[in-house]
Chains A and B, each alone.
Chain A
Amino acid sequence: MEKKPYIVIAEDDPFYGSILRTKLSKEGFEVLVTKNGEEAMAALRARCPQFLITNLIMPVKDGFTLLKEVREDKDLKNLKALVLSNLGEEEDKKKVLAMGLVEYVVKVNIALADIIQKIKQSAS
């Protein structure tokens, strides 16, 4: 059997975490949901996934810092990522996109089916 693609999610809101876990598992991904940037970074260092999904505003370590550390890490710097945030400010988006290999989506403005489709395209 083909190995499942592995996705790490950094999301402090359990509501979103559980929706993404359920949907992506059904789509055949192996999913690990972590609660903040620090937990996510530990998981990424332990095993590099095919794809990273992160929120921006999170306790302990936020998504901006997580992405910065990922880009500075020699083993993780090429990891593709998707930012799923409800921050809509252009400045935040610009800051994130400047880090490279990352897409930015405002959660509330996209249908679940469309975001899952996007993740499937990017993570496989």
Chain B
Amino acid sequence: MAEKNQVDGAVFIVDLSYKITGASGTVVGLPGVGAGEEIGNYYGDIFKFKNVNDSAPVADLVERAMNLGKSDFDTNVLIVKKDGDTAPVSVSVIPLIDKEGRSSGAAVMIRNVSEQVTSSFAQNDLLPITVHELRSPLGGMRWSLEMLMSGDAGQLPEVAQDMVNQIHQNNQKLIDLVNDLLDVWRLDQKSVTVRPESLDLATAIDLSLGEIKLEAAAKNIDIRTSVKEGSLPKTMVDPRLFGKIIHNLLSNAIKYSPASGTVDIRGGSADGYVTVSIVDHGMGIPKADQNRIFSKFFRARNAILNEVAGTGLGLFIARSYAEALGGEICFESEENKGSTFFIKLPIAK
């Protein structure tokens, strides 16, 4: 551990032949630099680097920065300590120029990042475990509430039925939130697995409609679909990812529609692509917010003002998944008139 208030890292300057002309600082497990012993040595003899993965070696990093006259950095480097053990460091290279504007060497900064690495590993592991731990009680509550709602514990008085319905809706919001967090975590980790299969989208849409029927019923929203089995060419998609896209778009359509409104699902195909559109007649997206609605955690102003619950993750996930399937999502929207979202996916060959 570096002493308090002391930066755990070192800086050195090399000339055009990569010899050290000045150095200062400490890296844990390495001899302190700055006593003058390292001056004149090839920097690689004093600071021994290894690469964590297959990225370019550090020597290339220093050389490249000097040749291109451009700063560069690598956060995935290991430094070999005296005992042969390694420590993760980040390396930044800043090329130096002389009075005439010619390259004269480079300043190299090394920073020990052991603690950052450990804490980001911990964070990475923490999320899926937390999601699993949250899902267990949430799922148990969901099923118990559904038993109460279906009269398994006897007929409830009307007031109690309303309360149970509301608890169920709120529980469902928590379930959606933890599922969304897991999806975003997978996207951030680039660990989304795509297993495409030739699929009639009507089957997947029906499945999503089944999942969302309670949400729609709570607002008395009528969801009509003109996509029937066989009405669209088969598409190469991963059913889980496609289901999630439809779920998120339908859930938005329900949320942003007035009570007793209608939502339409339509389909069509042209130029090697199938397009499914989801049409609502709700509050729409203000013009000023339209270019940001796919950003993570972004929420349109009217959605916040009208206190529509949401995390700002649904569209981010939907678009990321559509892209992972080789397709895209776009929309048309007018405030107070409604929105139509189009999902375009390649037809199976």
Q: Which residues of A contact B (CB under 8 A)?
A: 13, 15-16, 19, 22-23, 26, 57, 86-90, 106-114
Residues of chain B from 178 to 221 with CB closer than 8 A to chain A in the complex: 178-179, 182, 193, 195, 210-211, 214
Query: A23-B147, A108-B178, A111-B142 provided; 15 other pairs, C-beta below 8 A?
Result: A19-B144, A22-B147, A23-B152, A86-B132, A88-B182, A90-B193, A90-B195, A106-B135, A107-B136, A108-B136, A108-B139, A109-B175, A112-B142, A113-B150, A114-B210
A16 interface neighbour in B143, B147, B179, Cβ under 8 Å: B143
Cβ contact within 8 Å between A113 and B146: yes
Majority secondary structure, B binding face: helix
Q: Which residue of A lies closest to B179 (CB)?
A: A109
The tally of CB-CB contacts under 8 A between chains A and B is: 60
Cβ contact within 8 Å between B143 and A86: no
Q: Which residues of B contact A (CB under 8 A)?
A: 128, 131-132, 135-140, 142-144, 146-147, 150, 152, 175, 178-179, 182, 193, 195, 210-211, 214
Q: Which residue of B lies closest to A107 (CB)?
A: B139
**Distance from B243 Cβ to chain A, minimum over Cβ atoms (Å):** 10
Cβ contact within 8 Å between B132 and A19: no
List residues of chain A with CB within 8 A of the CB of B152.
22-23, 26
Q: Which residue of B lies closest to A110 (CB)?
A: B211
**Distance from B248 Cβ to chain A, minimum over Cβ atoms (Å):** 13
Cβ-closest 6 pairs across A and B: A108-B139, A86-B135, A15-B140, A107-B139, A112-B146, A112-B143
Docked Cα-Cα span, A97 to B150, in Å, equals 32
Given A23-B152, A113-B150, are A86 and B136 neighbors across the interface (CB < 8 Å)? yes
